[in-house]
């Protein structure tokens, strides 16, 4: 697995490199400290996956997220794992706004578990999705503790619909696959969003948030059940 690492902090970058060197199947082929350097490293080294910080030069804003969007267009099969100290649900939503396949969002505190980090890289490189459990909790929290899994609130049909949503299908595509009406799918999606008690935001972001919940608890949907990647 060929990896490009983008991190502007010298100590953190050195720590990541030392950690990844401990895995025989991982090869760091490029290193960058800013957004232009990251994009250049991808062009020069053709990695399987990028491990990047969210905030780095030149603006120390959302460079890692913007890099993921750019790479979605220029290198659609390239995985991007964002590693950050910010438990920011909006960053996670923005990361997967154009599709959750091959995208991951983890907090830097997970670096203490080298095996988890590398497994997350493998998952994202293979086209799967990884979302930090802390961020998922932020997305589904309604100001109170929830007993059990939030998915347990859903009916079998709602869970099936949510799985297809997480796979990137539109309501029309879901209706065609389940042989039901578009209106029936709309009702199921609306019920799912209500039962998961997602933050009141745009319909698009609530839909992505629901997909994040599913991906965190169930894992990436089967590719056989979805059409081609949304690219």
Residues 107 and 18 placed together within one structural domain of the fold: yes
Domain of residue 41: give its range: 2-132
User: Is 48 contained in some domain?
Assistant: yes
CA 192 to chain centre: 20
Domain total in the chain:
2
Give me 163's structure tokens.
Answer: 């799985």
- Does 93 or 43 have the greater pLDDT score? 43
Same domain? For 27 and 64 the reply is yes
What is the average pLDDT score of the chain?
Answer: 83
Residue 69 lies in a domain: yes
Please tell me whether residues 26 and 127 are part of one structural domain.
Answer: yes
**Domain stops at, among 69, 101, 132:** 132
Give the separation between CA 111 and CA 228, rounded to whole angstroms.
Answer: 32
Q: Are residues 98 and 7 in the same domain?
A: yes
Question: Is 57 domain-assigned?
Answer: yes
Residue 205, classed as helix, strand or coil, is: helix
Last residue of one domain, picked from the residues 77, 98, 132: 132
114/16 same-domain check: yes
Same domain, 114 and 187: no
> Same domain for 44 and 121?
yes
Lowest mean pLDDT among 74-78, 105-109, 207-211: 207-211
Residue 125 shares a structural domain with residue 182: no
Residues 214 and 154 in one domain: yes
Tokens, residue 26: 């991982």
Among 83, 106, 132, the domain boundary falls at 132
pLDDT per residue over 120-135, tens digit each? 999 999 988 888 877 7
Task: Find the CATH number of the domain harbouring 34.
Answer: 3.40.50.2300
Upper half-sphere CA count for residue 153 (Cβ side, 13 Å): 17
Could you tell me if residue 52 is inside a domain? yes
**Structural domain includes residue 22:** yes
Neighbour-count burial of 142, counting CB atoms closer than 10 A to its CB (0-12 exposed, 13-18 middle, 19+ buried): exposed
Q: What was the pLDDT predicted at 221?
A: 53
- Same domain for 177 and 117, yes or no, is no
Q: What is the rounded average pLDDT of the residues 142-168?
A: 74
Asked if residue 206 has pLDDT above 50, the reply is yes
Residues 115-120: contacts with CB under 8 Å, at least 24 apart: 117/19, 117/83, 118/20, 118/23, 118/26, 120/81
Q: How many other C-beta atoms can be found within 10 angstroms of the C-beta atom of residue 53?
A: 26
The pTM of the full predicted model, rounded to 2 decimals, is: 0.72
Residue 230 lies in a domain: no
Band (pLDDT 50/70/90 cuts) for residue 84 is: confident
Residues 205-214, mean pLDDT to the nearest whole number: 77
pLDDT at 208: 76
Other residues' Cβ atoms within 10 Å of the Cβ of residue 209: 24
Instruction: From 204, 190, 188, 198, select the one nearest 142 (Cα to Cα).
Output: 198
Instruction: Return the percentage of the chain with pLDDT > 70, whole number.
Output: 84
User: Is the pLDDT at 58 greater than 60, yes or no?
Assistant: yes
If asked whether residues 121 and 147 sit together in one domain, one would say no
Measured at the alpha carbon of residue 39, what is the angle toward residues 38 and 41, in degrees to the nearest 5?
A: 65
The answer, yes or no, to whether residue 218 has pLDDT greater than 80, is no
Q: What is the CATH number of the domain that holds 163?
A: 1.10.10.10
Q: Is residue 166 part of a domain?
A: yes
Is there a single domain that holds both residue 127 and residue 145?
no
Question: Which run of H or of E encompasses 29?
Answer: strand 27-32
Q: What is the pLDDT of residue 136?
A: 72
Scored b (16 or more CB within 10 A) or e, 89-128 reads: bbbbbbbbbbbbbbbbbbbbebeeeeeebbebbbbbbeeb
Q: List 62's β-bridge partners, or say none.
A: none
Greatest extent of the chain over all pairs of C-alpha atoms, in Å: 55
Picking from 75, 48, 53, 77, the residue whose alpha carbon sits closest to that of residue 65 is 53
Residue 15 lies inside a defined structural domain of this protein: yes
């Amino acid at each position: 697995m060929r990896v490009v690492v983008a991190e502007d902090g010298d100590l953190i970058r050195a720590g990541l490199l030392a950690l990844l060197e401990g895995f025989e199947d991982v090869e760091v082929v490029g290193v960058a400290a800013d957004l232009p350097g990251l994009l250049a490293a991808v062009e020069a080294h053709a990695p399987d996956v990028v491990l990047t910080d969210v905030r780095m030069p030149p603006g120390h804003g959302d460079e890692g997220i913007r890099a993921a969007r750019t790479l979605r267009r220029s290198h659609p099969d390239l995985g991007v794992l964002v590693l950050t100290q910010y438990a920011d649900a909006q960053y996670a939503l923005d990361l997967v706004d154009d599709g959750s396949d091959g995208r991951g969002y983890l907090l830097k505190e997970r670096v203490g578990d080298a095996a988890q980090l590398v497994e997350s890289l493998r998952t994202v490189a293979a086209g799967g999705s990884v979302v930090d459990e802390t961020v998922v909790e932020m997305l589904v929290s309604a100001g109170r503790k929830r007993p059990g899994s939030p998915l347990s609130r859903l009916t079998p049909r709602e869970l099936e619909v949510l799985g297809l949503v997480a796979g990137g299908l539109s309501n029309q595509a879901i209706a065609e696959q389940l042989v039901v009406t578009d209106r029936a799918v709309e009702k199921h999606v609306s019920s799912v969003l209500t039962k998961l008690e997602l933050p009141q935001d745009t319909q698009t972001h609530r839909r992505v948030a629901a997909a994040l919940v599913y991906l965190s608890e169930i894992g990436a949907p089967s590719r056989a059940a979805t059409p081609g990647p949304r690219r």
